[in-house]
Amino acid sequence: MATIDTDICVIGAGSGGLSVAAGAAQMGASTVLIERGAMGGDCLNYGCVPSKSMIAAGRAADTIRHAGRFGVNGHEPQIDFGRVHDHIHGVIAAIAPNDSVERFEGLGVRVIQADGRFTGPDTVEAGGTTIKARRFVLATGSRASHPPIPGLDAVPFLTNETVFERKAAPEHLIVIGGGPIGVEMAQAHRRLGADVTVLQKGSILPKDDPDLVAVVRGRLVADGVVLREEVDIAQVERHGNGIAAVLADGTRIEGSDLLVAAGRQANVDGLGLEAAGIEFSSKGVTTDARLRTTNRRVFAVGDVAGGPQFTHIAGYHAGIVIRNVLFRLPAKVDYSALPWVTYTDPELAHVGLTEAQARESHKDIRVLTWDFEENDRAQAERETEGRVKVLTLPNGRILGASIVGPHAGELIQVWCLAISQKLKIGAIASMIAPYPTLGEAGKRAAGSFYTPKLFSGRTRGLVRFLSWFG
């Protein structure tokens, strides 16, 4: 068996693993990258890229339906789901060269396309080769988990890994799970012509601000998505050529297809983690703030690290690991300015503390809001549903921000910067925002921090006093 001695060995060619491998190789470290499946991992092939591509197709269809509000001929569009499929996979193909074996070999990375398994604390076997490395990086990601619903294993169902392979729209899609993936796919499929029912054990989007979730819920219902929240599923079973979900109260929901979007589990199986002395569970491997596992030679990034499961977090983790491994700097993760976005229409974006978290952590907070119906650009584009909500301390320190509305994922970024750089609310309030833009809503929310003092009796008295001097 051949042996490779290298500085860094990365297991997993998803977002985090690719970032570590590219950075390490370009900085002069000898690097081996092991991937048993498709380069680009979940995000490129089964997650962010195809889902946002399908969402874009659904938005295009919805724009045609509602074009009449602008005086343009709005009508029910014809949906060619086969061409939607081609659009989705065309986007994947356009991005794939950035993540390809050829590109990474061109950067000097040794790529091994095989299963990788630890055989000891500092050795991995893959494709008939033994790799000995100074440091290893686990970047194996996660996959859709299968909830323990009676009958689920006996029926065909879709996950994010298979739903984008369809070339025909489902007649009636039943979605189990009302988190971001579930509601995004529910709305996209509804807009592309399918009937859709979402079954959720609690409230949809439970990690987000309930006030803002209500706006998303209203749009989903208006689109024709049937939401069944606070329900328990007793079992699922075949119904002719389709699927039936039986609720605990006896209600029977029949559909043509089933999509399971009820959480994720880390890919830790078959890696020989025991041989390397690495503690792990179905949630991922145990890591410290520097992303080191219980084997100090081995780091973990992305979903397998057991933290927030976002592609941008995997990229952030990669930077932390590079600083630790290559530059011996004790860099640590800091999630105080962690953003996330649900790409429904309207989008729902968040960074920092939610209102509930802020009230739990601080005795006195200020809640600043501004509705999009008060924004001139939103009025011009007939997209007035939504609001900006910002949480601060009485001294103006920004604790968190949430936005529901058009392009919320773009608008949240100024708040990410503000929180990460520890700016106070005055920095946003005094910013000059171009007119007319949706971003003005954030500036107006920030400005409302000063409204009580600015228009108080004391201020009016001061203005009258100063007027006596001419």
Range of the domain at 174: 152-263
DSSP classification of residue 70:
G
Q: What pLDDT score does 52 carry?
A: 98
> Looking at the structure, do residues 10 and 133 belong to the same domain, yes or no?
yes
Residues 367 and 285 in one domain: no
d(CA 286, CA 283): 9
Q: How far apart (Å, rounded) are the C-alpha atoms in residues 297 and 122?
A: 7
Which pLDDT tens digit goes with each residue over 91-144?
A: 999 999 999 999 999 999 999 999 999 999 999 999 999 999 999 999 999 999
Average pLDDT, rounded, for the chain: 96
Give the model's pLDDT for residue 128. Answer: 95
Contact partners, residue 133, CB within 8 Å, separation at least 6: 5, 6, 7, 8, 9, 32, 122, 124, 297
Indicate if the pLDDT at residue 178 is higher than 80: yes
pLDDT band at 361 (very low <50, low <70, confident <90, very high): very high
| Domain-embedded: residue 175 | yes
Contact (Cβ atoms closer than 8 angstroms) between residue 160 and residue 278: no
Provide the pLDDT for residue 453.
78
Looking at residues 303-313, what average pLDDT do you find?
A: 95
Residue 370, Cβ density class (10 Å: 0-12 exposed, 13-18 middle, ≥19 buried): buried
**Can you give the pTM of this predicted structure?**
0.95
At residue 336, does pLDDT exceed 90? Answer: yes
Q: Do 120 and 167 share a domain, yes or no? A: no
Q: What is the pLDDT of residue 466?
A: 78
Helix 48-65 and helix 180-191, axial crossing angle in degrees, nearest 10: 40
Would 44 be classed as within a structural domain?
A: no
- Confidence at residue 452, expressed as pLDDT on a 0 to 100 scale: 81
Per DSSP, the three-state class of 460 is: helix
What is residue 142's predicted lDDT score, i.e. its pLDDT? 96
* 179 and 126 part of one domain: no
Q: What is the tally of structural domains in the chain? A: 3
Whether residue 427 lies inside any domain: the answer is yes
Cβ(407)–Cβ(437) under 8 Å?
A: no
pLDDT at 330 over 90: yes
- Chain-centroid distance of CA 32 in Å reads 28
Binding site residues for FAD, as ranges? 52, 116, 140-142, 303
HSE-CB of 230 using CA atoms within 13 angstroms? 0
Residue with tokens 């050529």: 241
**381-417 tens-digit pLDDT:** 999 999 999 999 999 999 999 999 999 999 999 999 9
Residue 112: predicted pLDDT: 98
Q: Are 220 and 183 in contact (CB under 8 A)?
A: yes
Whether residue 178 lies inside any domain: the answer is yes
Does residue 65 form part of some domain?
A: no
Among 244, 263, 282, give the residue marking a domain's end.
263
136 plus 274 within the same structural domain: yes
CATH number of the domain bearing residue 410: 3.30.390.30
Whether residue 1 is predicted with pLDDT greater than 80 in this model: the reply is no
Same domain, 165 and 302: no
Q: Given a cut of 80, is residue 470 above it in pLDDT?
A: no
Q: What percent of the chain has pLDDT over 70?
A: 100
* Co-location of 22 and 128 in the same domain: yes
Assign residue 299 the CATH number of its domain: 3.50.50.60
Residue 468 pLDDT = 86
Residue 463 has pLDDT above 80, yes or no: no
Each residue's pLDDT tens digit, 204-249: 999 999 999 999 999 999 999 999 999 999 999 999 999 999 999 9
Annotated binding site for NAD(+): 177-184, 263
Same domain, 253 and 269: no
Q: Which segments are annotated as binding site? A: 52, 116, 140-142, 177-184, 263, 303
Helix (H) or strand (E) holding 272: none
pLDDT at 455 exceeding the cut of 80: no
Note whether 136 and 244 are same-domain residues. no
Specify whether 269 is located in the same domain as 259: no
pLDDT in the model for residue 459 = 73
